[in-house]
Chains A and B, each alone.
Chain A
Amino acid sequence: MSAALDTLYAAPIREHARNPRHRARLECADATARGDNPLCGDRVEIFLTLDGARIVQASFLGRGCDVSQASADLLAEAVRGLDAADARALSARVRQMARSGEGADAMGALGALAAAARFPSRVKCATLPWVTLEAALDGAREASSE
């Protein structure tokens, strides 16, 4: 078994993909956006409820590979309780980490997404939910991985 493959499909990724905790529609969402990867068909919708600038609840719906769906579940977990500005900063760090493979140690559970960097064609799987989060916070309805 390739070590890199085992890293990409490490236990947290598989667990979040198979048993997501935040896969749901928030009917009362204050901000939402849909993200598409036009090449592979992956899709993620992010739902947020806000109290002022603070994210109270976050959830997602989507279809796609284990990496994109696990990333969305990890995202929903990570951004609850954050101010929008902090959520944006976190998103930028996650996207940078997924591209570079660096900085995983300081990212807690999100660090599992750093493995995507070893698979250049899979980086967009990991980052799609995060660009969609940013679109939702910007008031845009749609985002694209491209």
Chain B
Amino acid sequence: MMDGIAHGYDVARIRQDFPILSQGVRGRPLVFLDSGASAQKPRQVMDAMRACMETAYANVHRGAYHLSELATENHEAAREAVRRFLNAARAEEIVFAGSSTNAINLVAHSFGRGVLKAGQRVLVSEMEHHANLIPWHMLRDSGLGIGMGVIRVTDAGELDLDSLRAELAKGDVGLVAVTHMSNVLGTVTPAAAIARMAHEAGARVLFDGSQAAVHRRVDVQALDADFYVFTGHKLYGPTGIGVLYAKHELLKAMPPFLGGGDMINTVTMDGFTWAEPPLRFEAGTPPIIEAQGLKAAVEYVEAIGMEAIEAHERRLVEHAMRVLPEVEGLSILGAAQDRGGVFSFALDAAHPHDLSTFLDSRGICIRAGRHCAEPLHARLGHEGGSARASFGLYTTEGEVDALAGALREARRFFA
């Protein structure tokens, strides 16, 4: 199963950092190919969260005593680590939210209701997962006169830039909210070009980086992103913490999302004044322990190097594109030129659900269903869903081979 050191990338050594990967499933090695849903955690993340609780835990931004000051310092160090990870200009542009979903809802609420004007539209693409679709439906349905438009996806599973251009030309687009990498097709979208087109049309742009930030180096300044969101648990960090990056001028103009402690300056029984960003958007006690886990996760991937991770995953994708199409009866969804380590597929002999149960009996974990992207499955003629294998920095070529072998077995089993 281990591929050893290939191209200077020591995947066997990396796998040792992930305790769960050494466990067996029904007497077989665990082959975890569902990192796109949530990734496994390295010991470094667990250790950091434990150390936070054992040595440096108190509420942050509140106590005038040493332990709270230490916890606050560590919390802000986590913000700084994320700033560096995204190459944001300043730490105040990093807002901790509970998840990508929370972060997008924050933008839909605070920017959507507070900055967008009646008559303006939000553009989303056909390949969004529900987290970057439903918040905009809710904004549209809130009676403020804000509309929506759709960017089409080509048969190859790429963003149709002509469709984006045509929508922008209507002159009423306030925000383009698109994925930076499809969680179904693995398609990496041309974010810098999208941002340029949006800005030329006077629109702002939000990238959902839930998948992309895990697989590629993200530079929000180079992309000229107005908003960028990602989540901790897909980046080998803990659940319960996500990140919203937003340009400072935008955060300054946006009203708060949730109300509570931390997001205020002064409070009387009659009202309150807003705190400055980012605290304006962080009502209540923040995810203190999770922030330390996220910091450790960011430092973990940076120590390996995002370029090295990307190169490893490119090799995996190339390998998968060689061996999976050789499986008789298998069809892969999408054929994007630029794709990351996510494959959705259908096997002629078996429904995705049945396939998933079969692969599980071989110790192989994949996702079956519509992967929270129902409209995309409808667009591609797979209303019933698909099966998905997604790779992480610990995935090996041997695991891809194990998947291909088990798919052949499944075809015989369900024939």
Contacts of B385 in A (CB 8 A): 40-41
Contact of A64 among B353, B361, B377 (CB under 8 A): B353
**Does B272 touch A at the CB level, under 8 Å?**
no
Pair A66/B369 contact, Cβ less than 8 Å: no
Contacts of B369 in A (CB 8 A): 39-41
Give B182-215 as 1s and 0s: 1 = Cβ < 8 Å from A's Cβ atoms: 0000000000000000000000000000000000
- The A56-72 residues at the B interface (CB cut-off 8 A) are 63-68
**Does A102 touch B at the CB level, under 8 Å?**
no
- The B347-383 residues at the A interface (CB cut-off 8 A) are 350-354, 357-358, 361, 368-370, 374, 377, 383
Pair B368/A40 contact, Cβ less than 8 Å: yes
**Does B170 touch A at the CB level, under 8 Å?**
no
Contacts of B358 in A (CB 8 A): 5
**Does A80 touch B at the CB level, under 8 Å?**
no
Q: In the complex, what distance in Å separates the CA atom of A63 from the CA atom of B384?
A: 7
Q: How many residues of A contact B (CB 8 A)?
A: 21
Contacts of A121 in B (CB 8 A): 357
Q: In the complex, what distance in Å separates the CA atom of A4 from the CA atom of B185?
A: 32
- Closest residue of chain A to B385 (Cβ to Cβ) is A41
Using A41-B370, A41-B383 as known contacts, say yes or no to A66 and B361 having CB atoms under 8 A apart: no
Q: In the complex, what distance in Å separates the CA atom of A25 from the CA atom of B350?
A: 24
Pair A8/B357 contact, Cβ less than 8 Å: yes
Give A91-118 as 1s and 0s: 1 = Cβ < 8 Å from B's Cβ atoms: 0000000000000000000000000000
Contact of A40 among B26, B350, B370, B414 (CB under 8 A): B370
Contacts of A39 in B (CB 8 A): 369-370
Q: Give the bracket for the number of chain B residues in contact with chain A.
A: 10 to 19
Kindly provide the distance from the CB of B99 to the nearest chain A CB, expressed in whole angstroms: 18
Contacts of A67 in B (CB 8 A): 353-354
Q: In the complex, what distance in Å separates the CA atom of A30 from the CA atom of B361?
A: 42
Contacts of A1 in B (CB 8 A): 361
**Does A42 touch B at the CB level, under 8 Å?**
yes
Kindly provide the distance from the CB of B352 to the nearest chain A CB, expressed in whole angstroms: 7
Using A41-B374, A63-B383 as known contacts, say yes or no to A125 and B353 having CB atoms under 8 A apart: yes
Q: How many residue pairs at the A-B interface have CB separations less than 8 Å?
A: 50
Using A9-B413, A63-B384 as known contacts, say yes or no to A40 and B361 having CB atoms under 8 A apart: no
Contact of B384 among A64, A66, A119 (CB under 8 A): A64
Contacts of A2 in B (CB 8 A): 26, 361
Kindly provide the distance from the CB of A67 to the nearest chain B CB, expressed in whole angstroms: 7
Pair B357/A42 contact, Cβ less than 8 Å: no
Contact of B361 among A5, A63, A65, A122 (CB under 8 A): A5
Pair B377/A65 contact, Cβ less than 8 Å: no
Contacts of B414 in A (CB 8 A): 9, 66
Contacts of A41 in B (CB 8 A): 369-370, 374, 377, 383-385
- The B361-415 residues at the A interface (CB cut-off 8 A) are 361, 368-370, 374, 377, 383-385, 413-414
Contacts of B353 in A (CB 8 A): 40, 42, 64-65, 67-68, 122, 125
Give B3-44 as 1s and 0s: 1 = Cβ < 8 Å from A's Cβ atoms: 000000000000000000000001000000000000000000
The residue in B368, B383, B384 that gathers the most chain A C-beta atoms within 10 A of its C-beta is B384
Using A5-B361, A9-B413 as known contacts, say yes or no to A42 and B384 having CB atoms under 8 A apart: yes
Using A2-B26, A40-B370, A41-B370 as known contacts, say yes or no to A66 and B413 having CB atoms under 8 A apart: no
- Closest residue of chain B to A62 (Cβ to Cβ) is B384
- Closest residue of chain A to B383 (Cβ to Cβ) is A41
- Closest residue of chain A to B351 (Cβ to Cβ) is A65
Q: In the complex, what distance in Å separates the CA atom of A74 from the CA atom of B398?
A: 41
Give B119-150 as 1s and 0s: 1 = Cβ < 8 Å from A's Cβ atoms: 00000000000000000000000000000000
Give A70-83 as 1s and 0s: 1 = Cβ < 8 Å from B's Cβ atoms: 00000000000000
Q: In the complex, what distance in Å separates the CA atom of A65 from the CA atom of B358?
A: 12
Kindly provide the distance from the CB of B298 to the nearest chain A CB, expressed in whole angstroms: 31
Kindly provide the distance from the CB of A13 to the nearest chain B CB, expressed in whole angstroms: 10
- Closest residue of chain A to B409 (Cβ to Cβ) is A1
**14 CB-based A-B contacts, threshold 8 Å:** A5-B357, A9-B354, A9-B414, A40-B352, A40-B369, A40-B370, A40-B385, A41-B370, A42-B384, A43-B384, A65-B352, A66-B350, A66-B351, A125-B353
Closest CB pairs A-B (n = 3): A65-B353, A65-B351, A41-B385
* Chain B residues close to A by CB (< 8 Å): 26, 350-354, 357-358, 361, 368-370, 374, 377, 383-385, 413-414
User: Given A1-B361, A4-B361, A67-B354, list of 8 further CB < 8 A pairs?
Assistant: A2-B361, A5-B358, A5-B361, A41-B384, A41-B385, A63-B383, A65-B351, A125-B353
